Chains A and B, each alone.
Chain A
Amino acid sequence: MSEALVAVEAAGADITAPAASGARQFWRRLRAQRAALVAAAVVALLVLVALAAPLLTALEGQDPTTYHPGLVDSARGGVPIGSLGGISAEHWLGVEPQTGRDLFARLVEGARVSLGVAFAATLIQVLIGVTIGVAAAMGSRWLDQVLSRVTDIIVALPLMIMALALLAVVPASFPRPVLVALVIGLIAWGNVAKIVRAQTLTLKGLDHVAAARLSGWGAVRVARRELLPGLAAPVITYAALLVPTNISAEAALSFLGVGVKPPTPSWGQMITAADVWYQAAPQYLLFPAGALFTTVLALTVLGDGVRTALDPRAASRLRVGTGRARKEDAA
């Protein structure tokens, strides 16, 4: 959940560690972790559901926005008719109280929104962070001063508060999911820039980078050919842990009613709406909350696994739910 922990852990990591050698070794190390494998399978399934959301709702024969007033009992305040919140062959997970909208359709469309926003925001964070970080490390002293100061300011801005406030002032006509991704991406790139700058400074001192610069290559070419491969490991590690953070952020903003707005479904928004219905229709709360929990958990475990695979030394330090203690530790 908290980006702060990821940042503190990254700051403590030994960035002079050699980058993991090759994709094959990465896969071998990732495969060796059972928890990470299970998490990867869950994430793959979620991504698949998100991508195929329109297909799945079509298969069910429903859509996320149609009201079904006949399926809720208006005499009892709009409680779904039938057992378990109106679960039936037509409505696989029942219907929403009051509106009667199909819950399964809203849940899978919600997955699409949730993952889409989180991945897009992560992409923005990585793009800005890498650009600023590399520029600061490779540029003049003056440029470094300016960019580092800007980064410090960005890090000082609390994501939730800033996003909450920013989302309020942008006109409602702007497509909300895009806006949420943009806002999260534009506010929370500071730690990526910090990590990239530190790593680039280390790489700069290495012989092959110095040789490339001395041979008269342009800055962009040096950055692309000699620096980016060395930056891949820390950036991928950090990005993998940013995705679940961004999922939580989107859900929280939608929960507060400023993120993704109806009729577009979102898990956070569903949880807010379900608040008052928990006795009459508990599944309305359980499904989105469970989906959110599973997604963040799977992405976090996968992120830990990616870190372990890319930096085995960090793995022996951190080992979060992915393995046993080393023999020499167990006194």
Chain B
Amino acid sequence: MNGFGGFLLRRAAGTLITLLAVSVLVYVVFYATPGNVAQITCGPRCSPEQVHQVAAQLRLDDPLYLRYFHFLQGLFVGQDYSTGTSVEHCAAPCLGLSYQSDQQVLTLLLAKLPVSLSLVAGAMVLWLVIGVGTGVLSAWRRGRLSERVLTVLTLAGWATPVFVLGLVLMIVVCGELQLLPFPQYVRFGDDPEQWAWNLLLPWLSLALIEAAAFARLTRSAMLETLAEDHIRTFRAYGVGERAIVGRHALRGALAPVIALNANNVGSAIGGAVLTETLFGLPGIGQELVHAVKVVDLPVVVGMVLVVAFFVVIANAVADVLYALADRRVVLA
């Protein structure tokens, strides 16, 4: 157990260092880029004096390392911001204030988070079930017509951009057939049934696209396991094909599927941004796209860091799960 404890410690330390380095990189890249932030924030009609005032207020004249230090300070112990007329305290973990609305970035994010979580969590359940299910089915029916159909469908899902699938679904289901109204976010607390109905199409769009990757991986991992010697032994003992595929071969696909689900967090969040924009769901993705368009840097940087945080943590968790599934990893 000592070996495993040490592995956990090393992994946790590595994760912390990575997170810190990501924050430095993201901060420097965004705040060191050319472009007059004060001018953009103030608006095109601002006089030079006003622009200067905004720059002072945003501490844009301080050297970069000092500003990063302030940022870290805010993150760990909180920070006071002067908004011109009053002083606002931003408690730790503070990601700064939006240039546009003077709201705290974290407050903005937290307000939008339930929408994005609803979207991604629901879609994840669907893509794991559909993806792994399709993979198992096509490994089981290998060599038959149904496998070829599934393979073609998987490939089609793989090649379709999420915003095209979503758009087509919306046009057909809501526009032409009028089976569902055009999605509008309803809070789970207000009406769980309406919440689910309205999220159905966004879930499907995101899930069907992501499921393709899982179907591909599950199928190939299972076929690999099926070719191994111990499976032949099971067959020789007369174990049924259903048990071999459903139990023993599926076990071989478990570790790669865990790894993919973790590696995929970043791309799934990217897909969620597209889905939210397409369906007009007021989640953090839509907020990010808006912040990007008005160059609201604190919001952009805050969002990027939060997403990167999720990605790094997901990878660390996957490593630990992987190590639990295969103890040889600990030695590496």
Measured CB to CB, the residues of A under 8 A from B are 1-5, 7-9, 11-12, 149, 152-153, 156-162, 164-171, 244, 248, 251-252, 255-258, 268, 271, 275, 278-279, 285, 289, 292-293, 296-297, 300-301, 316-321, 324-325, 328-331
Would you list which residues of chain B between 272 and 287 have a CB under 8 Å from chain A?
273-274, 277
Q: How far is the CA of A7 from the CA of B158 in the complex (A)?
A: 15
Q: How far is the CA of A321 from the CA of B149 in the complex (A)?
A: 9
Do A255 and B304 contact each other (CB < 8 Å), given the known contacts A9-B217, A161-B266, A297-B156? Answer: no
Q: Which residue of chain B has its CB nearest to the CB of A157?
A: B308
Kindly list chain B residues whose C-beta atoms are within 8 Å of the C-beta of A152: 14, 18
Chain B: interface secondary structure?
Answer: helix
Would you call B30 and A165 a contact (CB within 8 A)?
Answer: yes
The interface size of chain B toward A, counting residues with CB under 8 Å, comes to: 75
Q: Which of B154, B260, B267 has the most CB of A within 10 A?
A: B267
Kindly list chain A residues whose C-beta atoms are within 8 Å of the C-beta of B295: 168-169
Would you call B292 and A168 a contact (CB within 8 A)?
Answer: yes
Q: How far is the CA of A297 from the CA of B154 in the complex (A)?
A: 11
Chain A: interface secondary structure?
Answer: helix
The answer, yes or no, to whether B142 is at the interface (CB within 8 Å) is yes
Would you call A161 and B21 a contact (CB within 8 A)?
Answer: no
Kindly list chain B residues whose C-beta atoms are within 8 Å of the C-beta of A251: 161
Q: How far is the CA of A160 from the CA of B221 in the complex (A)?
A: 28
Kindly list chain A residues whose C-beta atoms are within 8 Å of the C-beta of B147: 325
Kindly list chain B residues whose C-beta atoms are within 8 Å of the C-beta of A166: 29-30, 33
> How many contacts between A and B, using CB within 8 angstroms?
203
Q: How far is the CA of A255 from the CA of B221 in the complex (A)?
A: 34
Q: How far is the CA of A330 from the CA of B17 in the complex (A)?
A: 49
Would you call B159 and A296 a contact (CB within 8 A)?
Answer: yes
Which of B152, B266, B300, B315 is A168 in contact with, Cβ under 8 Å?
Answer: B300
Do A285 and B167 contact each other (CB < 8 Å), given the known contacts A3-B267, A165-B288, A169-B295? Answer: yes
The answer, yes or no, to whether B175 is at the interface (CB within 8 Å) is yes
Would you call B159 and A300 a contact (CB within 8 A)?
Answer: yes
Q: Which residue of chain A has its CB nearest to the CB of B259?
A: A8
* B40 smallest CB distance to A (angstroms): 9
Would you call B209 and A8 a contact (CB within 8 A)?
Answer: no
Which of A8, A153, A159, A301 is B266 in contact with, Cβ under 8 Å?
Answer: A159
Q: How far is the CA of A142 from the CA of B53 in the complex (A)?
A: 46
The answer, yes or no, to whether B269 is at the interface (CB within 8 Å) is yes
Q: Which residue of chain A has its CB nearest to the CB of B152?
A: A321
The answer, yes or no, to whether B155 is at the interface (CB within 8 Å) is yes
Do A169 and B35 contact each other (CB < 8 Å), given the known contacts A158-B266, A285-B167, A330-B143? Answer: yes
Q: Which residue of chain A has its CB nearest to the CB of B270?
A: A160
* A326 smallest CB distance to B (angstroms): 8
Would you call B241 and A331 a contact (CB within 8 A)?
Answer: yes
Q: Which residue of chain B has its CB nearest to the CB of A191?
A: B263
